[in-house]
Each structure stands twice: as C-alpha cells, then as structure tokens.
Structure 1
Amino acid sequence: MKRAIMSVLSVMGVLAFHFRVQAQTTDSLLAQATVHDCVQYALVHQPALKQSQIDEAITDRTVKSKLADWYPQIGLNYNFQHYFQLPKSNFGGNIIQQGVENTSVVGAGLTQNIFNRDVLLASSTAKTVRLQARQNTVNNQIVTISNVSKAYYDVLLTQRQIQVLVEDTIRLQRSLRDAYNQYQGGITDKVDYKQAQISLNNAKSQLKSASEILNAKYATLKQEMGYPVSGTLNLVYDSATMVQQAISLDTSTQVVYDNRIEYQLEQTTQQLLQAELRYNRWSFLPTVSAFANYNLAYFNEQFSKTYNTDYPNSYAGLQLSLPIFQGTKRTQNIRIAELQLARSNWDVAQLKEQINTEYTQAMATYKGNLNDFFVLKENVELASDVYTTVNLQYREGVKTYLDVIVAESDLRTAQLNYFNALYAVLSAKVDLQRSLGTLTPQTF
C-alpha cells in the first residue's frame, strides 16, 4: 500500500513538473503578435538587452566598491617568529644577545580616509558613470526596436508576396485550363496553352522560393526578438492601419541633437573627461588618513609557553602623504586629459554632422519611397482593370493569349512593387524616427 502511494505521488510530481515547464514555455510565447507586441517582447527577452542590464548592475557594484573606501577599513594581523639564532649587538664593548627565541604579535588596525583624490573622483563621478551605463542600455533598446520593426515588416512583405504569387498561380491555372480547352476545341493552337504552362511553372517556382525565404526571415525576426527557435509566432496586422502608420509622419520636423542617445552619450563622456582633468589637477593635494592600532605581543624562550603572557600596546595617529616632485608626471597627465577633452569636442562636432547627414538621407528616402508608394498603389488598380478587360476579350476571341500573359505579368509586378513600396516606406519611417531621436521605448 505504501509503495502504491509513493508511486502515485511520484507520478503526480512528474506531471506537476511537466505542466509547470509547459506553462513557463507558454508564458514566453506570443499567441498573436503585432509589431508593438514583438518590440515589447524583445525589450524583455533580447539577449543583448539582458547583457546591458547586467552591465548596469556591474557598473553599480563597481561604483559602490570604489565608494566603500570612504568607510573605515579594519584589519587583523597575526605574526609568529622563531629564532634559530638570536641576533647579537655590541653594548659597551660586550657582545650580547637580544630577544627571545619565540615572539608573536596579534594586532587589529583601523584606517579612515579623510582626503583621497581617488575616492573623491569616484564620489564626484558616481552619478555620471551610472547614467552612462543606463544610456548604453537605452541605445541598445533603440537598436533593438529598429531591428525588430524592420524584421517584422520584412516578414509581412514576404507573406504578402506569397499571397500575390498564390493568387497569380490560381489565375494562371485558370488561364491554362481555358487555353487547353480552346486548343482541344480547335480554336487555338498548342502555343497558347504551352505558354500558359510555362508561366504557371515560373509562378510555382517563385512561390516555392518565397516560401523558403519566409522561413529564413522568421528566423531573423525571432533572433532579433530573443524568441524561442521552436516557438510559433503568428503575426497579425491590419492593412489599413499599417498604411495609415506608414504615411502619418510630420515631414517638417527638424532634428534636435539632444534627442539622440548618441549625442547624450557624448555629453556624458565629456563630463567624465572633465572629471578626469580635475582629478589630474588635484595631484598636488595630499592624501590624509587617520589610523589606530591595538597589538598584543608575546615573548618566551619556550614554544609551549609563548602565549602565556601578553604585552599589549596601542596607538593612534594621522598620516599625510604629500607629493613634492614627480618629474613632469603631473604636468603630462594634465596635458593628456586636456587633449582627450579637446578630442571629445571634435567627436561631438563630427557626431552633429553625422546626425544631420543621417536625418537628411532618411528624410529624402522616406519622401521618395512615400511618393513611389502612392504611384504604385494607383498602378495596382490600373493593372487590375487592364487584366480583367484583356482576359474577357481573350475569352471572346478579341485578344491573343500573349496579351493575357502581358496583362497578368503587369498585374503581378504591380502588386509586388506595391508591397515592396509599402515595406520601403515603413522601413524608411523607422530610420527617420531613429535619426530624429523619437524612436524610444517610451514613444514606440
């Protein structure tokens, strides 16, 4: 009976573990994913962002470690010494031995920094160093948002391309059937249905290639998101909303340097370089610390009786260390810090030019792609009307099958170009928002 109960409990434990693991796996997956869902998932699960958060924690601990030097430092020292030959000295012309064979000292010491420029530097830059770590995380978040958004739109583009090719294949199958029936009826020769077969084979080949590419693009999206490789990812979207998002952007917006995280990082770097310059200018200042020690000394000729009697002593004091001459080390270090700061000023100037160039290129690309989008959207409507008309005329014997092939090819091309243009606009919008510094976790 006991064995049966233990067996049942064991099975229940295994099942509980299985359901717990399954629940954890389910929690880490998205049932349906919009671009917003994918980005939010990536901000939580992306390995690079996890590393950035760990880097922040390391930086915080490093700062605390540096600041710990302001607190009292307490240490314990122990020493035991046995003389095989006691030291001798000359005293009044007589050679005498000094000391005993066994000596030991146990001591406790305390030191307290009063002024130390290393610790002062850590104190004055602690907030800035932490800020720099947070800004690096934000920078990685912005990169992740950009990469995930583009990968998401790329998957949607391929899905729409597949949809176009599927519709094209259906049309070509119908055209092949019509052409073959007309050939069987003696209305046309075999050229028409063979051309239809060639077009159908080409469409199937393109469809197969697009399907394989879709798998690769899904893999890229999952990688950018930090999504489980074996997890199912179903993308959902609303075409009308997506089009509205693509065209809803104020193109009169001007770039503001302070909005760019790269510019903020440069400003933070300059603050740290200025602190480093002050640190080197302080090198003439003394280092001041207080100390106190309490020792217990033990002496005896016999090892077994070494610790029978202790002889305590204690003292406290103040230590000051003042550099008087260091060659030209202080001067050189100050000059190096000044040059690094001057170089940083040029980094800022160069970054401003880079930001302006990125903004100009991103704005030009967005406007050009947006214009192409509107033109190609109209082309889809025109190509659809042409194909419908030509197909009807072919069935009535007015147009040749070559006209149908051309019209069908124009329609497929127009549809594919339209979706390519939509993806290009969405991608260009992401680049433009990034160049403006408005692509942030708070605004996405």
Structure 2
Amino acid sequence: MNKLFRSPLLLAAALAGAAPQVALAQNAPSAMPQAPVQGPMSLSLQQAVTYAVQNKSSLLATRLGEATAAAKVGEIKSAGLPQVNVAATLSNNFKLQKSLVDVGSFSGGMTSSTTLTAADINAAQNGQTVSLGTVFTPAEPVPPTAIAFGLQYAGNASASVSQLLFDGSYLIGLKAAKVYTELAKKQTQQAEIDVAEQVSKAYYSTLVARSRLSLLSRNVQRLDTVLSQTDKTYKAGFAEKLDVDRLRVQRNNLVVERQKAERLTELSLGLLKFQMGLSQAQGIILTDSLGAAVVDAGSLRQRLSVADFTNGGGVAGQAPVPNAPALGTGNTAAQNRLDQQNALSGGQGSMARGAINYNNRIEFSTLETQQALAGLDLRNRQAGAYPRLVLTGAYGFLGSSNQLGELFAFRGPDSRNSAGLLNQNWFGFGNVGLSLNVPVFDGFRRKYLVQQSKLQQQTIEKGFETLRQSIDLQDAQSRTTLINALDVLDNQKANLDLATDVARVTRIKFNAGVGSNLEVITAETDLRTAQTNYYGAIYDVLVAKVDRDKATGELYSQVKK
C-alpha cells in the first residue's frame, strides 16, 4: 500500500538568413500529416509538434509510465475484491513421521483378569449360568511406544475464499488512486511541453538556416554579376586586374560560406527530425515561412508593458535610424530601462503586474498533486491503528492410502469392499469464519511513520514557496531576454537597411566610374555581416519567445492554436 505514496516528484542555433518583413501570423490549424512511405512530409510548426507528441520515443515511454500507474491503481483496488484460491497437493510419505505414545495410560495403569473357582466349574457342569468375576491389578510399567500416524500416500484438494470487510488503509488507498493517476498524467504533460519547446526551437533554427542559405545564394549571384561586369571593364582597359582578383577572392569566400550554410542547414534539419522522433531518412518540407514565424515587436512590447511606438514597430515598422524620444512622452528610453530593471529584479510593468498565474505552470499543478498524495499518505499511516476484518471460508477433500493407485480411487462415504465393509479413503472438510486483527502495540513504529509523513507535508509546503520564487525569476528573465532580443532585432534591421543602401549606392558609383572596387568589396562585406547579425537577432527573438511562452505556461497551448 505504501508504494502508492512513494512516487517521485518531477544545436547550436543557425545564425543569419534572408530579410523578410516581420509580421506576426499564425497558420490555421491543419490535420496531422501521415508519414508517407515515399516522398517528403509537409509540416507546419503545429504539425511538427503534434507529430512529435504522438511519436517521439521518450514520450511514448512516459505514456507507458502513465499506463503503469493505471495498472498499479487496479492492483490496489483488487485487494477489496473477493480472493479465491484453489489448491491441490500430492505427497509420498516414504518415511512416516512417528510420535511417542504412552500406551500404558490407555488402561489407567491397571490390568484386568478373570477369576474361575471350583464352585464356578461345578455350577457350569450342572447347567447353571455362571458369572465370572473380573479382578483389576496394577499393570507392569510400559515405556512410551513410537507410533506412525497416516498412510504412505496422501492427497489434498481445496478451494478457499476471503473477502475484505474493513481495512482503513484500503479505503484511503481508493481515494489516493485517482490522485495517483492524475500525477502520472501531469508528468506526461510536462514531457509534452518539453518536446514542444525542443521542436519549436529546432523548427525555427531550420527556417533561419534555410533563409540564410537562400540569401547567400542570391549574394553569390549578385557578386557573379559584379565580377562579370568588372571583368568586361578590365578587358576593355578601364579597370585593373587587381579589381577582378579582389572580387574573385570575395566570391570564393562567399561560396565557401554558402557551403558551410548548406551543411548547417542539413544539421538543423537532422536535429528537427530527431526532436520529432522522425527517421533521418524521411524527407520533410517546412510549410511555415520565416516571415510568419517572426514575432511582431510592437505587439510584444505592448504585452510586456514596455511599448515604444516610435521605434518599436519591429522590422515592418522600423524607422531608418531609431531616435530616442523626448522624456515625458510616456514611452521613453528611460522607461524602457526602468521596465527592464524591474523585470530583472522580479518586478512587473504596469500591464504585466499580477498577470502571472502559477496554475498555468504544470510544475505547480504537479506539486499540488504531490501535496494531496502526501496528505493521503499521512491518513493511510494513521489508519494503520484501525482493526482489519476479513471473512474467510474453505472447502476441500483429504485422502490417503498405502498404494498410489488406491489413492486415486476416490472412494466416498458409501464405498464398501468385497466383504461389505466401508473402505472410504477421501473425506471432506469445510470451514467459514471471521478474521479480526487489532493492532495494539508496534513499538511506536506507526508513530514515527506518521511523523515522517507530517515532515514530508511540510517539505512540500516549503517547496511551493521555492517554486513560486523560481517561476517569478523565470518570468522576469524571459521578459528581459525577450525585450533585449526585440531591441537588438530593431537595431540589426536598421543596420541591415543602412548596409543594403550603402552597398547599392557603392555599386552604382562603381558602375558609373566614380567609385573604387575596394569600396564595393567593403560594402559587400559589411552587408553580409549585417545580414548575419540580423538573422541571428531573428533567431534570438524566436527562441526568447519560446522561452517566454514556457515561463508563462502557455507554450503548448500557443503551438496548438
């Protein structure tokens, strides 16, 4: 019974990619795709998470634990049902056990004899009836005699039944069964949330890696165009060979970078398949776009109570160069810093204050279930002082014989031998009764068990406060990380816009003959750096958003929408 109460409590990201407009968009829910025998699977983020929840081996193992808990509950409930047993034994008593018996005590220590006198003889001869007298005299002492009881072969067949009528621990166990099952389900929910987090991050990593690979391919094509034009200009005598060589070196470096991006994309894709529990040989097509996955910065800032509409519109609403607003506008940079400091220290902004619901966190709900189990464990150990009442009954047959074949003759009470004498060799027996067990004194064992349960309850109560503080810290950290990631994304988008414009103007000047080749190479290098930083910022925002949703307990529900 006590086992019921002893269940225990609980890639490197691809940086850089293409520069789509930032917009928040959720794909409409769609049916879970079935893995084809041949051909790739089309997967949205929601479908990828759903597939992982249904097929990942670690989750399947967790669900087996849930099924095991249900079976354990059934085991406990079975103790209250009738217990029926059938037994049969056959024994060969090749050496019968003997017992010492004082046979002299059977006659009371006396021996009897009959006296016959001459008068008695004469009377008998005359046809008279003679009554002979009995004389008792002390018997000679006889030592105890060893006597063997039973026959060589013996058999026994019986059926017994028992029914538990009252047991305090059993009644408490029935109440704990439902709570115990709930605990197993919540542990499964925790595993599902972890899988949703892993799949989401791997999915975003693959999207960013593919976008960066696509952008690098376009950069190679653009550089090939510049190289071709420069080579023609060199052949016409209007450019130096050094300009062509510099561009060729730049192109070779870009090709190598693209090859690295291809391998990183494959690695990201392999990680996603692993997190989904999908075979590495299975092809997949990601249907979500990076533009739909990137979070709208302005909307998030409003939700995080640090809205700044002058420079917080995300990529879609980003001004060319962010300008610090004047103090006193209500959404100042100083207010931004204050909100971030409040978040880091555990404080909340005005809109977010009081928004935390601890019950959204599965860890909090799991601890509540463990607390309920601890209370039932305490009641179970206190119930150990109650009596235990069991109804019992049995019926069977017992037989014996000096020959094995005779034992299986199964002769009943009406069986007689050739001489007409009873020769029964099997005899029935039966009984019914009540068994009452009243614990009186167990050496204070139950007292210390109850004390342990009370201390366990106090430990769980202290755990609630620790968990609340941990959730508060995670909430503050996720808010700050997300705010910082959004700020970095805005700045990197501004840098990307500037680098793109500089590269465009530099190419125009070079084609017009008023700019140098070195300026073009420098501008292209700065552009690629800006692109890499921008997509690194995109991925940081996506990961921070996943961490934020997990901290607030909304990750799994957000993904399923």
- Residue 391 of structure 1, CA deviation: 0.6
Q: 1:281 aligns with which of 382, 386, 404?
A: 382
- Residue 131 of structure 1, CA deviation: 0.4
Give secondary structure in 2 for the equivalent of 1:55.
helix
Encode CA deviations 1:331-381: one digit per residue, 9 max, x unaligned: 221122122222222222221111111111111111111122222223222
- Residue 248 of structure 1, CA deviation: 4.5
Q: 1:90 aligns with which of 102, 107, 113?
A: 102
CA distance in 2, matches of 1:176, 1:86: 110
CA distance in 2, matches of 1:195, 1:40: 50
Indicate whether 1:168 and 2:219 are aligned: yes
Encode CA deviations 1:219-271: one digit per residue, 9 max, x unaligned: 10001111222111111223443335676442244321110001111111111
Give secondary structure in 2 for the equivalent of 1:229.
coil
**Aligned ranges 1:293-372 → 2 under 5 Å:** 293-306=394-407, 307-308=410-411, 309=424, 310-372=426-488
Indicate whether 1:383 and 2:383 are aligned: no
Indicate whether 1:26 and 2:40 are aligned: no
Q: 1:404 aligns with which of 515, 520, 544?
A: 520
CA distance in 2, matches of 1:123, 1:313: 36
CA distance in 1, matches of 2:392, 2:97: 32
- Residue 187 of structure 1, CA deviation: 2.8
More helix by share: 1
- Residue 407 of structure 1, CA deviation: 1.4
**After the TM superposition, which of the residue ranges 411-420 and 240-249 deviates more from structure 2?**
240-249
- The match for 2:77 is 67
Q: 1:40 aligns with which of 45, 50, 70?
A: 50
Encode CA deviations 1:263-298: one digit per residue, 9 max, x unaligned: 111111111111111111222222221100112122
Give secondary structure in 1 for the equivalent of 2:383.
helix
Q: Is 2:208–2:290's contact at 8 Å kept on the other side of the alignment? A: no
> Structure 2: which 5+ runs fail to align?
1-32, 106-143, 305-350, 412-423
Encode CA deviations 1:299-346: one digit per residue, 9 max, x unaligned: 334433233232212111111122222223112211221222222222
CA distance in 1, matches of 2:165, 2:500: 84
- The match for 2:61 is 51
Q: Is 2:88–2:156's contact at 8 Å kept on the other side of the alignment? A: yes
**Aligned ranges 1:129-148 → 2 under 5 Å:** 129-148=180-199
Indicate whether 1:226 and 2:236 are aligned: no
Quick one: structure 1 residues 171 and 311, their matched pair in 2 at CA, closer, same or farther if it must change by over 3 Å?
same
- Residue 114 of structure 1, CA deviation: 1.6
CA distance in 2, matches of 1:78, 1:246: 79
CA distance in 1, matches of 2:200, 2:542: 9
- The match for 2:335 is none
Encode CA deviations 1:369-396: one digit per residue, 9 max, x unaligned: 1122222223222222221111111122
**Aligned ranges 1:107-146 → 2 under 5 Å:** 107-146=158-197
Q: Give the alignment's TM-score, normalised by structure 1.
A: 0.89
Letter of the aligned partner of 2:50 in structure 1?
Answer: Q
**Aligned ranges 1:127-276 → 2 under 5 Å:** 127-243=178-294, 248-249=299-300, 250-251=303-304, 252-253=351-352, 254-276=355-377
CA distance in 1, matches of 2:448, 2:285: 61
- Residue 436 of structure 1, CA deviation: 0.3
**Aligned ranges 1:1-20 → 2 under 5 Å:** none
- The match for 1:6 is none
Q: Give the alignment's TM-score, normalised by structure 2.
A: 0.71
- The match for 2:415 is none
Quick one: structure 1 residues 25 and 145, their matched pair in 2 at CA, closer, same or farther if it must change by over 3 Å?
closer
Quick one: structure 1 residues 70 and 213, their matched pair in 2 at CA, closer, same or farther if it must change by over 3 Å?
same
**After the TM superposition, which of the residue ranges 353-362 and 408-417 deviates more from structure 2?**
408-417
Q: Is 1:393–1:399's contact at 8 Å kept on the other side of the alignment? A: yes
- Residue 78 of structure 1, CA deviation: 2.0
- Residue 96 of structure 1, CA deviation: 6.6
Encode CA deviations 1:116-141: one digit per residue, 9 max, x unaligned: 34433431111011101111111111
Provide the identity percentage: 25
Letter of the aligned partner of 1:70 in structure 2?
Answer: G
- Residue 95 of structure 1, CA deviation: 3.2
Q: Is 2:295–2:541's contact at 8 Å kept on the other side of the alignment? A: no
Q: Is 1:78–1:105's contact at 8 Å kept on the other side of the alignment? A: yes
